Amino acid sequence: VYFGPERECQRRELMIFLWRMAGSPEVDRNGRAYGDARDYFPDLGAYEASTATNKAIAWGYKEGIVRGFSDGTFGPSLSVNRKDTMIMLYRYAGKPYYERTKQMTFSDVAGVYSESTDTYNAICWAYNQGIANGYSTGAYAGQYGCLLSCLREHIVTFLYRYSR
């Protein structure tokens, strides 16, 4: 089995990682089934209700962790970017309160996203918790890298830092 650490992580894979971290739940805290993700997103037709992809996306949607795109699709095989990764992890964590002990000055976040958005708060939370950092060198120096694709190795690093 090959993990593919340098491969871009797909949106459906991130949802499966989070779902498994949550214990692979199939019912909510009130005992209600999460349902079939194909009922929420029309582009999931290839994923039967019994698949991990379907279960994870249905769970994530019903728990408010993930939303689709403005056209109503989910984009399961699209690469997940760093911004959306942090938003999903922040929502998974329950949008926790956090102390802003470090001033976030990423040029692709500060002044770009309102401080009241999940985008801003997710990245600021992750930065202050030591889950994710921006780039200090290279072409993206001074940025968080919001729109850059997350590699699978980045995802597991973020999840590890979150869970410790």
| Alpha helices, H only, the chain | 11-21, 52-62, 82-92, 118-128, 152-163
What Å distances lie between residue 125 and 11, 31, 82, CA to CA? 21, 31, 14
What's the pTM value of the predicted model, to 2 decimals?
0.94
Q: What is the pLDDT of residue 144?
A: 97
Q: What is the pLDDT of residue 64?
A: 97
Measured in degrees and rounded to the nearest 5, phi and psi for residue 113 equal -110, 135
